[in-house]
Structures are given as structure tokens and as C-alpha cells.
Chains A and B, each alone.
Chain A
């Protein structure tokens, strides 16, 4: 009975982590869909979200919902600028050039922000915007932080679904990811669609950053690296370019990471994620929901 309770508890913890991964993975999967680019800087936008929220909370003591809105606006702006400055000039360059640029943007953001004059290379404590309360449900406990994470992830997901499947812009996005040239022949503004994709992805990553800061209240400029790569793996696992695939992948990665830490050793948790990646790439490179790798 005790073991069962422990397993349930770890499940909740895994879902909490998985929800954050899912939010980041959505940005990866959408950008990959329209540009065929692994946006390495996406993990750093997630980090940026946590830092902006930190400043808004600690310097201006704004209410939490204002913090969410402002952070989303700032990270969306960051995503928009990165796309315009770094990726757009290389739209027709070889794929690897674009990838190396993405690595460069990621390193630049990390090391620029880690300068003492900008942020700091040290860990800083993320302020608690509200008191943590735990609800005891006999078998396991769930905190209000976890409930907030689940509900915000759910709402973001719902809004994203509406955007992608029910609006004109969403149709344009899907058309561009299906075939860029034909889409532009149909009168779709490619640049605007790509920008919109980056804006939506970056604002979701910003939300993920705040939630991560609330759940694991220690932030650092390099905190985006591993979650970024793991979320990309989540996107590959679910089938790259597929929205519900990214969400499922995020939850699977979060759960496996938490279970490996709980039952094996926390030092192996990064390794296990990459073993999952190898298995996916070998056995079903299109991912769980994917049909063909080059189509959405």
C-alpha cells in the first residue's frame, strides 16, 4: 500500500514536470513544422521567461496574472526578434547552416545573460507568488502549485488547438508546414506565418518558464539547456510537427525522468532520456503519432 502511494505520488510529480516539458515541446514542434529547424534557442526562451517573471515578481511585486501576461509578451517579442535577425536571412541556406546559427543564438543568450552586468551566472531563488498548500488525498498529496500547473497547461493547450484548427492563421500555419512553396502560391504570407509560429511558441515557452520557476524555485541562466533538449526529444517521441504528440511526449519524458530518479538514481535521469531518443529514432523515427517524417 505504501509502495502504491509512493508510485502515485511520483506519477503526480512526473506529470507536473511533464506539463512544463509539454509547453516547451509545443514550440519546438511548431517551429519544426514550418521551418524544418531545431530551434536550439527555444530552451533559452524558456529560461528568459523564468528570469523576466523573477524580475517582475521581485522588483515590482505585480499580481501573478499580470506577470503571466507581461512575460508572455516579452518572450513572444524575443522569439520574434530572434527569428527576424538570425533565422530569416538564412531561410534558403543549407539546413545545417540554420542549425549552427540556432546553436549560436542559444549560446549567445546563455553567456550574454550570465554576465554579471546583465543577470548573474549564479543560482537565484525564485520568489513564491503565493503560499503552497498541500491537499492530502489519503493515497497521495497534491499541491496547489501542481493544480495550477495542470490547469494552465490545459488552458494553453485548448487555446492553441483553437488557434491552429479553427482560425485562418492556424490554417495558414498548417499549409506552410505542409508545403511552403504551394502555400505561398495560394496567397499565404509566409513571413507573417513563420513569425506568428515563433511568437506563439515563444509565449508558450515563457509560460513554461514561469511554471517551472514556481514549481522548482531555483533559476539559473543555463536552466534551459537540458529541459530544452528533453522537450525536443519529447516532440520527436510524439511525432514532430504534431501538437498532441508533443504533449504526450512531454508527459512520457517527465514521467520517465521522475521514475528513474525515484527508483534508480537521479544521476542517470538524463541518460535514460537519451536512451529513449535512440529507441525512438531506431524503431519508429516518425514518433508515436507520426505517419511521414516530412509531412505534418
Chain B
């Protein structure tokens, strides 16, 4: 109970946000499409939060985050399809199983690769991302249900606004508490100086592994919500560009800032999807010309993100 009491302000705020969003939906000012992208924004925030734990708080650079997002999505899609789940209460355990599957794979892959640092870690995670992409492309060889490069079809639509909202708020609170627990302190310590952390007795490897596993768990839950929202999955949704999406959200929002990730996730989804409504398709194609320029400009002038308070 203490958990809820301590988080009362956040819970109150989220109830208010929930009611106002519901009111907007109810009075029908917005289309189905806007509802869909609001849900999508929640999912993106959750997965980016996972990357923020890994990169923003613990300093372990990952270019393969979309792989874990994809693992969560495929596990959830598979389980809900073969058990033909329609009840939302039966879906919640599957959601956490999908997250745990992504976390477990993150743990197993983290044991070898978290010994590497900086750019070698980047190339190893990038490699893992490509490997997962190749496996997903060939997944119809293991079971016809996966569909391989044709895509996974016929996933039951189970993600509702209520479910996604409650799950995301709950996990944001958990993440917040973790970050300000002693483990979170160790993570931030490792980010600032790994050698110094080791010298004061922090088991840096197991702490890095813990952060990585937890980040992958969040990505897996995000992926599961995504799978049961769009009811169709394709391996190309989980490639390097998706990982870079998450990376941009973390960097724009500020490394090591939960609120920043939430704002940046909303702005990002609103920007990308909003442009699609307002502008013609030819102009929208230009966005991948400007996004890299934004990334380069950020690295030159604000390398720790737009919304961070202090430099390390």
C-alpha cells in the first residue's frame, strides 16, 4: 500500500489525464486514427523508457533495442493466437510473459556482450538486432503461424486504452522507484565511472546485466501491446531504424530523465504521425532526411539531450 501512497501525486495526475483523454474521445472530437496513435505513443514511451534505463541511466549503448521489442511482440502474438485469447484478464499474464521472454533473452545475450563497451557494444547489439531480424524473416520454417517474411497475421486485438494506460503508468512508477533505489544508484554510478564504481565494491557486471534485462523487459511489454494493437506484425517493423527511433527519443528527451522520455515520446509520435495527416506523402518522405540532421545537431550542441538539467 505504501507504494501507492508514495505515488499518490502521479496516480492523481494520471487519473486526471485519463479522464480528460477519455472525455475527448467520448465527445468524438477525434477520429479512430488519433485514438490509435495515442495508444501507439504509450507503447513507444514504454519501450523508450527501457532504452533510457539501459543507455540513459546505466550508460550501456544499445543499437538493438527494437529486437527485444520485436521478441515481446512475437511472443505475445503467438501466445494470444494459439490460445485464442479474447478476455483481457487472460491477456495480462501473457503480457508479462512476453516481457519476461524479452528480458530473459536480454539476460542471456547480455552475459557475453555486456563485457564490451561503447562502440563494440554498439556493433554487438546491432549484430544481435540483425540476427533477430533474420530469424523473424525465416520464422515460418519453425512454425507456419509466424508467417516469416510474409508477416504475422490474425493476432487478436486486445490492447485497449485502459489497459495500456494502466500498464504504462504502473511500469513508469516501478521504473521510477527502481531508479531511486540502491540499484538505480549503482546504475548511475556505473554510467559516470565504471572503474570507480568497481573500486568501491559495486559488482558492475551484474548491475549492468540487471539494467539491461529490465530495459529489455520493458521493451518486450511494449512490443506485446503493439502486437495486440495492430494485429499484424512484419519483421521490417523491428529493424535498425526502429532502434534508432527509440534512441532519438531517449536523446531528445534527455539521457536519464523519465519525464523527458515521456515528453519526447509524445512529441515524436505526434510529429511523425501528425505530419502524415497534414502533409502530402512526398513531403513526409523528407523526414528521414531531416531527422539525421537533427541528431547530428543535437550531438554537437546538446550531447546529453534537450531536457537534462546538468552535465556529468
Contact with A along B275-297 (1 / 0, CB 8 A): 00000001001101101110110
Q: Is A285 an interface residue (CB 8 A)?
A: yes
Q: For chain B, residues 26 to 69, give those with C-beta under 8 angstroms from any C-beta of chain A.
A: 61, 63
> How far is it, in angstroms, between the C-alpha of A111 and the C-alpha of B41 when the chains are bound?
25
Q: Interface with B: A133-141, A155-163, A165-173, A265-273, which one?
A: A265-273
Evaluate contact between A267 and B292: CB separation under 8 angstroms: no
Q: Is B162 an interface residue (CB 8 A)?
A: no
> How far is it, in angstroms, between the C-alpha of A189 and the C-alpha of B205 when the chains are bound?
40
Residue of A with least CB distance to B241: A107
Q: Contact check: which of B127, B247, B285, B299 meets A274 at CB < 8 Å?
A: B127
Q: Contact check: which of B118, B137, B138 meets A99 at CB < 8 Å?
A: B118
Evaluate contact between A107 and B292: CB separation under 8 angstroms: yes
How far apart are B94's CB and chain A's nearest CB, in angstroms? 28
Interface range, B side:
35 or more
Number of chain A residues close to chain B: CB under 8 A: 41
Residue of B with least CB distance to A282: B112
Q: Is B163 an interface residue (CB 8 A)?
A: no
Q: Contact check: which of A93, A108, A116 meets B292 at CB < 8 Å?
A: A108
Residue of A with least CB distance to B303: A97
> How far is it, in angstroms, between the C-alpha of A277 and the C-alpha of B126 when the chains are bound?
11
Q: Is B134 an interface residue (CB 8 A)?
A: yes
A281 and B118 contact, Cβ closer than 8 Å, known pairs A111-B292, A275-B131: no
Please name all residues of chain B whose beta carbon is closer than 8 Å to the beta carbon of A94 when the two chains form the complex.
303
Most A C-beta atoms less than 10 A away, residue of B128, B288, B296: B296
Q: Is B170 an interface residue (CB 8 A)?
A: no
Evaluate contact between B296 and A105: CB separation under 8 angstroms: yes
Q: For chain A, residues 92 to 119, give those with C-beta under 8 angstroms from any C-beta of chain B.
A: 93-101, 103-108, 111-112, 115-116
Evaluate contact between B134 and A90: CB separation under 8 angstroms: no
Evaluate contact between A107 and B299: CB separation under 8 angstroms: no
A38 and B293 contact, Cβ closer than 8 Å, known pairs A103-B244, A107-B244, A277-B127: no
Q: Is A66 an interface residue (CB 8 A)?
A: no
Evaluate contact between B120 and A285: CB separation under 8 angstroms: yes
Q: Interface with B: A57-65, A143-151, A200-208, A228-236, which one?
A: A228-236
Contact with A along B234-253 (1 / 0, CB 8 A): 00000000001001000100
Q: Is A278 an interface residue (CB 8 A)?
A: yes
Interface secondary structure of A, over-half rule: helix
Evaluate contact between B134 and A104: CB separation under 8 angstroms: no
Evaluate contact between B289 and A115: CB separation under 8 angstroms: yes
How far apart are A226's CB and chain B's nearest CB, in angstroms? 8
Evaluate contact between B296 and A108: CB separation under 8 angstroms: yes
Q: Is B130 an interface residue (CB 8 A)?
A: yes
Please name all residues of chain B whose beta carbon is closer than 8 Å to the beta carbon of A187 when the two chains form the complex.
none
A104 and B299 contact, Cβ closer than 8 Å, known pairs A99-B118, A270-B134: yes
Evaluate contact between A95 and B118: CB separation under 8 angstroms: yes
Q: For chain A, residues 153 to 201, give those with C-beta under 8 angstroms from any C-beta of chain B.
A: none
Please name all residues of chain B whose beta carbon is closer than 8 Å to the beta carbon of A116 when the two chains form the complex.
282
Please name all residues of chain B whose beta carbon is closer than 8 Å to the beta carbon of A281 when the two chains form the complex.
112-113, 116, 120, 124
A268 and B138 contact, Cβ closer than 8 Å, known pairs A105-B292, A115-B285: yes
Please name all residues of chain A whose beta carbon is closer than 8 Å to the beta carbon of B130 when the two chains form the complex.
229, 270-271, 274
Evaluate contact between B292 and A277: CB separation under 8 angstroms: no
Q: Contact check: which of B61, B127, B289 meets A108 at CB < 8 Å?
A: B289
Q: Which 9 A-B pairs have the closest CB atoms?
A: A108-B292, A104-B295, A274-B127, A271-B134, A111-B288, A107-B292, A104-B292, A104-B296, A97-B303
29 CB contacts below 8 A, A to B, read A38-B119, A94-B303, A95-B118, A95-B119, A96-B61, A96-B118, A99-B61, A99-B118, A101-B295, A101-B296, A103-B63, A103-B295, A104-B295, A104-B296, A107-B288, A107-B295, A108-B292, A115-B289, A229-B123, A233-B127, A236-B120, A268-B134, A271-B135, A274-B127, A274-B131, A275-B131, A277-B124, A277-B127, A281-B112
